Amino acid sequence: MLNGEKIADIARKKLYLNTNLLITDNTQIEIENCKKVLEYNDIYLKLLTSNMILQIWGSNLNISDYNTDGIIVKGKISSIEFMKRRVT
């Protein structure tokens, strides 16, 4: 039986609203459908996407936005964490 979450997942898939990551080595990540920057400093970046929260740890992190509803994170990346987004 379909519940709201499953419907939302299917809708995101069909409408290409998933969070897509393209990781190049440990130096660059391209993140699609990024909504907001929650926290940001030189070594830590917390992002809100359409369906989750991403935490990126590293050093010399810098972000670029080219008006594509996504961002590019560059620097020396040590880890990426995925957290479920809590809808309030």
Partner 1 sequence: MFNNFRGVITFKASGDNLEDFINKIRLNRITCFDMHIIQGVLVGKIYDRDYNELYDLGKLHNVILSIESKKGLIYKVKKYKQRYGAFIGLIIGIGFVFYMSNIVLKIEISGNVSVSNDQVLSLLKESGISYGKFIPNLDYLYAERKMMISTKKIAWVGIRNIGGRVVVEIDEMVKSPAVVPLDVPCNIVSSKDAQIISTKVYSGDLIPKIGDGVKAGDLLISGTTMDKRGKSRILHAQGEIIGQYKEKIVFSQKFSEEQHILSDTEFRRKEFSFFGLQIPLSISKKIHGEYEYDEHTNNFCFFNITLPIGITHQTYRPFEMKLIQYNEEQAKAVIEQKILDYEENFLKNKTIILKESQSGIDKEEMQIIVQYTLEGEIGIEKELMAKN
Chain positions contacting partner 1, by CB under 8 A: 36-42, 60-67, 71-72, 74-75
Which CB, 8 or 72, lies closer to partner 1?
72
How far apart, in whole angstroms, are the C-alpha atoms of residue 86 and residue 73?
24
Q: Reduced to 3 states, what is the DSSP secondary structure of residue 21?
A: strand
Structure-token match 């290409």, residue found: 16
- Count CA atoms within 13 Å of residue 47 on its CB side: 25
42 or 81: CB nearest partner 1:
42
- In the complex, minimum distance from the CB of residue 73 to partner 1, in angstroms, rounded to a whole number: 10
CB nearer to partner 1: pick between 37 and 83: 37
CB of 14 to partner 1, least distance (A): 25
CB of 68 to partner 1, least distance (A): 10
Long-range contacts of 62-65 (CB under 8 A, 24+ apart): 63/37
